[in-house]
Structures are given as C-alpha cells and as structure tokens.
Amino acid sequence: MRYPEYVAKIIERLESLGFEAYIVGGSVRDMVIGKDPNDFDVTTSALPEQTLAAFSDYRTIPTGLKHGTVTVLSDGNPIEITTFRIDGEYLDSRRPESVEFTDDITADLSRRDFTVNAMAYNHARGFIDPFGGKRDIANRLIRAVGEPHRRFGEDALRIMRAFRFSAQLGFEIDADTLAAAGELTPKLANIARERIGVEFIKLICSARPEYPIELMRELGLFEYVTNGYVPSAETVRALSAPPAVERVRLGIFMSECDSERAGEILHGLRVSNKLLSNTKNIAKNCAARLSGTETDARRFIGSCGELTEDVLAAARALGRLDAEFESYVRENLAKKVCTDSKGLAINGSHLIKLGIKGRDVGEILARLLEHVLEYPEDNDTEKLTALAKNLSEKM
C-alpha cells in the first residue's frame, strides 16, 4: 500500500523526530478496499505544540488545538494531524465533554466508531489493526469497535453512521451491532438535527442505499430522521439509479408526500433553502408519469425550468418517463423554443402600450403563452400583438 509523497513527507518528518505517525480512519479503509481516499488524516503521538514546531517551515493552521488537531499544508494539500487521544465522558449520547491525549495508538483506535475505520498504517511499521478491520473489510461487515451497546450509548450519531457506511461501502451490518442500533435508536433524539441530516444525505447519495433504508424502516429509525416518513420499497429501489446529486436523490425520496410535508421534513434535516426548494420541485414533478403531447412537453419544460434534466433523471429512475415524451422534451430543449412567459416575444409593457389595463395584462399574457406552447412558430412580436388586440376586444 502506497500513500502519496506529500503524505509520506509529513509522516517521515514526525517519525524522524522520534514520534509515531500514521494515516488513519477513512483513508486506510479506502486504500484497503482499493478506492482512492478523499483525503488523508494523520494521527501522531506528538502533542499539538510539538506538531506545530515540527512543521514550522510549512503553512500550518491550528484547526482544533483543544481536540488536538493541526492542519498542515503539504504541497498544497491540507492534512489534518491529530494527537492520539482518548475521549472523555460522554453526556446525553453526544460529543465528549473533554479529550485526553495518549501516546498509545491502540487507545486512539479504540475510541473510533467501526472496525473498518479503526486502522492505522505507515510505510515503516505497516498496519495497526487491533480490532480486525481488515478481516471485516474482507467479510464486508460494519462492526462497532468494542461493545456496540456502549458505543452507541456514548454517541448515538454512530447509529446513523453505521447505516451510512453500509450504504457507501455496500457492507452488511454485523448482527450484534445492528441489534444495539435498534435498541438505542431513541437516543437519536439527543443528536443535533443537522448532523443527522448530513449522514442521511450521504446515505441516499451512496451506491447502495436500499438495504440500510430497509433496515432503518424495520427499526423505526425514520421517526428520528424524517418524522416517520419513508416511501415505498419501489421508490427506495429507484434511489441508486440516477447520478448522486443531492436534489435528485432527495427528490425521488420525497416523491410520495405532499409539498407541505416535504418542506417540513427537509427543514427537519436542516438542508439549505435552495436544496429544499429544488427538492420539492423535483419531487412534485416526478410524482406522476411523464407523458403527453409536444405541447405538454413544452409546458413541462416551462414548469421545471433549470431543473428539467433533474426531473427527467428522477422520473426515468422511477420508471415514469415515457420515451416519446422524453424525445419531445429533448427536441424542444434543442430548439430553445419559448416555454414560459419570460420567453414570449411580447411583455406586459407592450400590452400596456396597446391600451390594455389592470388584471387583463396578466390574463392576456397567460393566454398568449398557452397559444405559443401550442404553436411555437407564432412566438413573434407582430403576430402576438395582433392576437393580444383581438383578445382584449373580447374582454
């Protein structure tokens, strides 16, 4: 196993000063699996001040000195270096009150959540794997480090993380770990909503969300995630088909509840306002089968706007996209025809100049749009002016 040179430099510097230093956590897990890690975290016996001193010729950022973390910029790559630590007392199943530093790598690994995340490695010393992380990777298992009941009791977010890693890695959850997760589910009520939201969104944007979602449904976990809402198994099966774009995956997930409830649930997950409104739009537009005439296709583009491709992807995943309708949508997108009032060759001030007043302006614009959706070739200022005059005479 080889990590990049910019990581090796950091580890070798610390080791040459008499400290121990390893890559740890997700980066070791991903390398064992054969995936490229997102980032490399380093763990060391050096105290934070000693780490800062060791890299005085590097750019360093004292990211979380209290928790023992220093970030070092190595050839432009930020690397978090954290001192070996043992977590202090946990209150209310949340983050520990205090941390204690140690010079024992095994003690540091023992505070970590799952065996697959509790390995350390460096080129000189090889693997430190006291809990059988490699074996569990080979068996494709998520297993708590130590006694699962105690570990979920300390920090209930780990329950969500178990399902999230199961989804991302396509691993099963070990039976004892799963049983403990089920028993301690109510402890999720103590966890900050946004942390639950982050884990859940990572879960549904993963390669294999179906199995963990099914388990979560059986354990009643959705009560603490989505106020109890879960779509049908058929909709859950559609989740992994489209690209892992948050609004698309969430849109599919929310497609079986009405807009108001969807808004409440998404707010409960603490997503941004933009993600909330995009998700609601996608959910609403992919809820029923997409089919119809060319005119319907233009109306559909008008109502989806910049979310058109996302709605198509969601509807396709759900098996609700009629092939002919899709080709109508694509032809009209390619021709860039008018699909909403902004695209009309005439606007409100044109109408006012023609002497049209008050509520009639909006009414006539709406009728012109209906006309143009049916006859795109009529989207021409002269033609629409004549039509507007005609309509206003009849009003």
Select from Mg ion, ligand ATP, none the partner in contact with residue 376, using the beta carbon and a kind-dependent cut-off of 5 to 8 Å.
none
- Beta 126-128 vs 120-122: how paired, if at all? antiparallel
Residue 25 Cβ, how far from Mg ion at the closest point, in Å? Answer: 6
Q: Quick one: 40 or 328, whose CB is closer to ligand ATP?
A: 40
Q: Which two tokens stand for residue 205?
A: 């944007």
Q: Quick one: 118 or 388, whose CB is closer to ligand ATP?
A: 118
Select from ligand ATP, Mg ion, none the partner in contact with residue 157, using the beta carbon and a kind-dependent cut-off of 5 to 8 Å.
ligand ATP
Q: Which stretch binds Mg ion (CB under 5 A): 19-27, 75-83, 240-248, 330-338?
A: 19-27
Confirm or reject binding of residue 26 to Mg ion (CB under 5 A): yes
Quick check: helix, strand or coil at residue 114?
strand
Q: Which two tokens stand for residue 26?
A: 């997700």
Q: Quick one: 105 or 351, whose CB is closer to ligand ATP?
A: 105
What's the chain's length in residues? 395
The closest residue (CB) to ligand ATP is 26
Residue 80 Cβ, how far from Mg ion at the closest point, in Å? Answer: 9
Select from Mg ion, ligand ATP, none the partner in contact with residue 56, using the beta carbon and a kind-dependent cut-off of 5 to 8 Å.
none
d(Cα 101, Cα 119) in Å, to the nearest integer? Answer: 18
How many residues belong to the site for Mg ion (CB under 5 A)? 1
Residue 206 Cβ, how far from Mg ion at the closest point, in Å? Answer: 15
d(Cα 83, Cα 200) in Å, to the nearest integer? Answer: 29
Residue 142 Cβ, how far from ligand ATP at the closest point, in Å? Answer: 12
Q: Quick one: 26 or 263, whose CB is closer to Mg ion?
A: 26
Q: 41 near 28, Cβ under 8 Å?
A: no
CA contacts within 13 A on the Cβ side of 229:
20
Select from Mg ion, ligand ATP, none the partner in contact with residue 343, using the beta carbon and a kind-dependent cut-off of 5 to 8 Å.
none
Q: Quick one: 65 or 198, whose CB is closer to Mg ion?
A: 198
d(Cα 100, Cα 84) in Å, to the nearest integer? Answer: 9
d(Cα 188, Cα 210) in Å, to the nearest integer? Answer: 21
| Site residues, ligand ATP (CB under 6 A) | 25-26, 38, 112-113, 117-118, 155, 157-158
Residue 312 Cβ, how far from ligand ATP at the closest point, in Å? Answer: 29
Q: Quick one: 25 or 302, whose CB is closer to Mg ion?
A: 25
* Chain centroid offset of residue 58 CA: 33
Q: Which stretch binds Mg ion (CB under 5 A): 4-12, 23-31, 172-180, 271-279?
A: 23-31
As beta bridge partners, residue 87 has: 99
- Residue 141's φ and ψ, nearest 5 degrees, are -130, 135
- How would you label 224-233 residue by residue, b for 16+ Cβ within 10 Å and e otherwise? bbbeebbbee
Residue 231 Cβ, how far from ligand ATP at the closest point, in Å? Answer: 25
Q: At what angle do helices 273-285 and 246-253 cross, to 10 degrees?
A: 50
d(Cα 220, Cα 131) in Å, to the nearest integer? Answer: 30
d(Cα 194, Cα 52) in Å, to the nearest integer? Answer: 32
The closest residue (CB) to Mg ion is 26
Residue 157 Cβ, how far from ligand ATP at the closest point, in Å? Answer: 5
Task: Give contact residues for Mg ion (rule: CB under 5 A).
Answer: 26
